[in-house]
Chains A and B, each alone.
Chain A
């Protein structure tokens, strides 16, 4: 295992170096045309930001024709088109909440994989916390009680 990790890390380093070289090479070549290069770099960066925002939002939306997986994950054609809609709307300046609202208007609350934390849904988010606090309190009480028992009291065989 160690060996394989070593190889992988060497490989990753080599790849990273190679990528860095590849990434900087075109910039060097285009010194004369800095403006274009910068604009291009900006648009690439904007693309990758948009892609990341799309992915994050698409992971929150349920694929309508699959079972329980998001449109980010689903390989189905409809899911990919839904993902395109997400991307377009984000590009047009809609906020993630507005995009969600669009899908809720078409599909209902069902489309959200994570229920909105409000109203009754708050139960879903708070109950585990209540159990955790209650459990901690119970353990503290029990441990105190059990450690307070006399050492020569009943004990295990």
Chain B
């Protein structure tokens, strides 16, 4: 044993400590989604909560992503048992109303929940302006790579995912992204 070997040992130790130091700057819970930039997985789900006029859809109607091409689509996964969903609810509802006359569609997708408590929840929260759909057996949630609720996906007019929000979304974020997507739509229009 000599100092040379000690240096060799250090040559292994230093990178490991460096790696761990770097690791401390990362959030292990944040897992980037591969979806942004790609086409949002198709779904056609049944409305259970109609929303409010002017953007209401009748209960039992099928909301199909395919048919919403040409619109900016905000897909919000939520549940009545989800505590953080309460924080974002009014921001989503008011923003949806603000874009009522633009080519923007808000959709709530119920995640791991049943209809009765979900409708009660909407009542308690003072209503939801846009329609919510059920997701039987969580097929849409799985296709969208859901980790939990709330998660929100914003799709552009071509159906590509432009943004994924993990955790509660806010009105400023919604407005910024929707506005920028609408302006590119207008720019491309002849």
Contact = CB atoms under 8 A, between A and B. Distances in A.
Interface in A82-120: 82, 84-85, 104-108, 110-111
Main secondary structure of the interface of A (DSSP, over half): helix
A65 interface: yes
A64 interface: yes
Nearest to A105: B34
A108 B147 CA distance: 12
Main secondary structure of the interface of B (DSSP, over half): loop
Contact of B145 (A77, A81, A106): A106
A64 B145 contact: yes
B1 to A, nearest CB: 15
B137 A84 contact: yes
Interface string B54-96: 0000000000000000000000000000000000000000000
A106 B143 CA distance: 6
Contacts, number: 42
B98 interface: no
Contact of A108 (B34, B143, B146): B34
Interface in A20-65: 64-65
A78 B138 contact: yes
Interface residues of A, number: 15
Contacts of B138: 77-78, 81-82
A64 B147 contact: yes
B23 interface: no
B16 to A, nearest CB: 13
B112 A106 contact: no
B140 to A, nearest CB: 10
B167 interface: no
A-B CB proximity, top 8 nearest: A106-B145, A107-B145, A81-B138, A108-B34, A64-B147, A110-B31, A81-B137, A85-B142
11 contacts: A64-B146, A81-B139, A85-B139, A85-B142, A106-B143, A107-B31, A107-B34, A108-B31, A108-B33, A108-B145, A110-B31
Given A64-B147, A77-B112, A106-B142, 5 more contacts: A65-B147, A106-B41, A108-B32, A108-B34, A108-B145
